[in-house]
Amino acid sequence: MAASAPTAPARPPVRRRRPRLGAYGLLLPASIVIGVALGYPLVRQFVLSFQEFGLKQQFGAPPEWVGLQNYTDLLTDSYVWTVIARSIAFCLVNAALTMLVGVALAVLMERVARGARMTLQVALLLAWGTPVLASMTVWQWLFDTQYGVINWTLVHVFGLDQFDRHSWIVQPLSFYLVATVIVVWMSVPFVAFSVYAGLLQVPAETMEAAQLDGASPRQRFWNITMPMIRPVLTIVLLLQVIWDLKVFTQIYTLQRAGAPTRETNLLGTLIYSMSKDFGQAGALATIMLVITLALTGFYIRKMLKEDEL
Amino acid sequence: MKILRFAALGAVAALALAACGTDTPADNESPSAGGTPEPATIKLWLNGTDTPQELRDYLTTTFASENPGSKLVIEQQDWSGLVPRLQTALASEDQTPDVVEIGNTQAPTFTWAGAFADITDLYPALGGEKLLQGFVDAGTADGKIYAVPYYSGARAVFYNKDVFKDAGVEVPTTLAEFNDAAKKLTTDKVSGLWLPGQDWYSGASWLFTNGGDFAVQEGDQWKGALSSDASVAGLTQVQDLFTNATNAPADSDSAEPWVPFNNGEAAMFYAPTWARWSINIKECDEKVAADDQSDEATEKRTKQQACNEEHTGIFPLPGNSADEVATAFAGGSNLAVAAKSKHPELAKNLLKIIFSADFQNQLGSKGLIPGNSEYTASVGDDVYAQAAVKAALAAKLTPAAENWATVEGDRVLEDFFQQLATGQDVKTAATAADQRIADILNG
pLDDT at A276 over 70: yes
Residue B372 lies in a domain: yes
**Of B344, B360, B389, which residue is a domain's last?**
B389
Average pLDDT over residues A192-217: 92
For strands B266-272 and B155-160, give the pairing.
Answer: antiparallel
Q: Same structural domain for residues B234 and B111?
A: no
Q: Same structural domain for residues B255 and B378?
A: no
B12, B84, B112 ranked by CB distance to A239: nearest? B12
CB pair distance less than 8 Å for B22 and A145 = no
pTM score of the predicted model? 0.81
* Chain A residues touching residue B197 (CB < 8 angstroms): 170, 258
Distance from CA of A5 to the nearest CA of B (A): 30
- To the nearest 10 degrees (0 to 180), the angle between helices A172-200 and A132-142 is 130
CA distance B292 to B298: 8
Q: Same structural domain for residues B242 and B319?
A: yes
Q: Same structural domain for residues B325 and B350?
A: no
pLDDT at B2 over 80: no
* Chain B residues touching residue A171 (CB < 8 angstroms): 422
Letter string b/e over residues B399-410, b meaning 16 or more CB atoms within 10 A of that residue's CB: bebebbbbbbbb
Counting Cα atoms < 13 Å in the Cβ hemisphere of B224 gives 20
B160 near A CB under 8 A: no
Q: Same structural domain for residues B289 and B414?
A: yes
A145, A232, A282 ranked by CB distance to B22: nearest? A282
Q: Same structural domain for residues B182 and B278?
A: yes
Q: Same structural domain for residues B119 and B145?
A: yes
- Specify the number of domains making up chain B: 2
pLDDT class of A104 with cuts at 50, 70, 90: very high
Q: Same structural domain for residues B277 and B299?
A: yes
B24 near A CB under 8 A: yes
As a whole number, the mean pLDDT across chain B is 88
Number of Cβ atoms within 10 Å of the Cβ of B285: 12
* Chain A residues touching residue B19 (CB < 8 angstroms): 242-243, 245-246, 289, 292
Task: Confirm if B47 and B333 have CB atoms less than 8 A apart.
Answer: yes
CA distance B307 to B37: 49
Q: E strands within chain A?
A: 51-52, 64-65
Q: Which amino acid is at A152?
A: W
CA distance B277 to B71: 29
Task: Confirm if A43 and A286 have CB atoms less than 8 A apart.
Answer: no
CA distance B228 to B352: 45
CB pair distance less than 8 Å for A170 and B80 = no
Percent of chain B with pLDDT over 90: 60
Task: Confirm if B194 and B261 have CB atoms less than 8 A apart.
Answer: yes
pLDDT at A264 over 80: yes
pLDDT (tens digit, 9 = 90+) per residue, B215-274?
Answer: 998 988 999 999 999 999 999 999 999 999 999 999 988 888 999 999 999 999 999 887
Distance from CA of A19 to the nearest CA of B (A): 22
CATH of span A71-308: 1.10.3720.10
For strands B155-160 and B221-224, give the pairing.
Answer: unpaired
Q: Same structural domain for residues B306 and B377?
A: no
SS3 content of chain B, % helix, strand, coil (to 5): 45, 15, 35
pLDDT class of B1 with cuts at 50, 70, 90: very low
Q: What are phi and psi of B196, to 5 degrees?
A: -65, 150
CB pair distance less than 8 Å for A281 and B23 = yes
Average pLDDT over residues B325-336: 91
pLDDT (tens digit, 9 = 90+) per residue, A73-88?
Answer: 999 999 999 999 999 9
What is the DSSP code (8-state) at residue A61?
P
Output B154 or B357, whichever has higher pLDDT: B357
CA distance B321 to B397: 22
CA distance A237 to A100: 10
Per-residue confidence (pLDDT) for residue A51, from 0 to 100: 92
CATH code at position B145: 3.40.190.10
Q: Same structural domain for residues B194 and B124?
A: no
Q: Same structural domain for residues B368 and B299?
A: no
Per-residue confidence (pLDDT) for residue B20, from 0 to 100: 42
Number of Cβ atoms within 10 Å of the Cβ of A215: 16
pLDDT at A4 over 70: no
Distance from CA of A6 to the nearest CA of B (A): 34
B293 near A CB under 8 A: no
B339 near A CB under 8 A: yes
Residue B113 lies in a domain: yes
For strands B140-141 and B331-337, give the pairing.
Answer: unpaired
Q: Same structural domain for residues B303 and B360?
A: no
> Cα dist. A11→A16, A20, A21, A200, B199 in Å?
11, 17, 18, 51, 83
Task: Confirm if B217 and B428 have CB atoms less than 8 A apart.
Answer: no
Residue B307 lies in a domain: yes
* Chain Cα centroid distance, residue B300: 30
Listing DSSP states for B93-115 in one string gives TTT--SEEEEETTTHHHHHHHT-
How many contacts (CB atoms, under 8 Å) link A and B?
Answer: 158
pLDDT at B16 over 50: no
CA distance B391 to B120: 30
**Ranges A32-41, A54-63, A172-181, most confident:** A172-181
DSSP bridge pairs for B74: B44
Domain that holds residue B231: 155-329+410-442
Residue B27 lies in a domain: no
CA distance A68 to A52: 10
Q: Where are the domains of chain A?
A: 71-308
